Amino acid sequence: MIEVIVKNILFFAQATTPGYTLFLQTKDDSQRSLPIVVGQFEAQAIALALEQIHLDRPMTHDLLSQVISSMTDGLESVVIQKLKEGTFFAELNVRSERGIEKIDARPSDAIALALRAQVPIKVSKAVFEEASIPMPTIANVQETAEPTLADNVNEITRKAELRFDLEHDLREAISREDYEEAAMIRDRLKALSLSEMRR
């Protein structure tokens, strides 16, 4: 296994499918980096953890991190162990009284949790050799990318809190069976997601 760090997160607006790409770099060799496409919510969660921003209320990854800490002996590491048909597969290595429990996870979720627990992120040597790209290529790619999420922390925090509030209000409206208000909140959530994808 190769231990890696999160080097950068870039948003590519001009790609065939606009979205975020996470770049993982080895701790001892800066010549190559592993790019992984991640969703907007996961990119946001990773950026908040990188910048060590703690919101007043826990987001999903914060909550899951607390559950793992409370109900087990903690997260030991995360591993990106397989690449199949262009999809990366990861696992959480969770300590328990029975030893290390391996839990299947998406790489983006695994990395968001690893950053919160401050545990190693590892990639299988075979996956890194197959999918990593030279660093100069990344330098060229950055010219066509938008600023990193970490460069826009205040906006990330504001949108994260707004999304949290809207999702809470949506659940409340549904529980009251106020479906007209729920539809309006749902539309606001959709508009927020679209604005994030177009930035």
- The per-residue pLDDT for 199 is 47
- The per-residue pLDDT for 55 is 74
Structure tokens at 2: 């190769």
Q: What pLDDT digit, counting tens, does each position of 162-188 carry? A: 777 888 888 888 888 888 888 988 888
Per the CB < 8 A criterion, the answer to whether 113 and 92 are in contact is yes
Q: What pLDDT digit, counting tens, does each position of 118-169 carry? A: 999 999 999 999 999 887 565 566 555 555 555 555 566 667 777 778 888 8
Q: What pLDDT digit, counting tens, does each position of 75-98 carry? A: 999 999 999 998 999 999 999 888
Mean pLDDT (whole number) for 2-20: 78
Give SS3 for 77: strand
Give SS3 for 139: helix
Top CATH class, 2-150: alpha beta
Query: What would the DSSP string read from start to end of 20-41?
Result: EEEEEEESS--SEEEEEEE-HH
- Of residues 198 and 99, more confidence is placed in 99
Q: Where are the domains of the chain?
A: 2-150, 158-198
pLDDT higher than 70, residue 29: no
Mean pLDDT across the chain: 83
- The per-residue pLDDT for 18 is 65
pLDDT higher than 90, residue 39: no
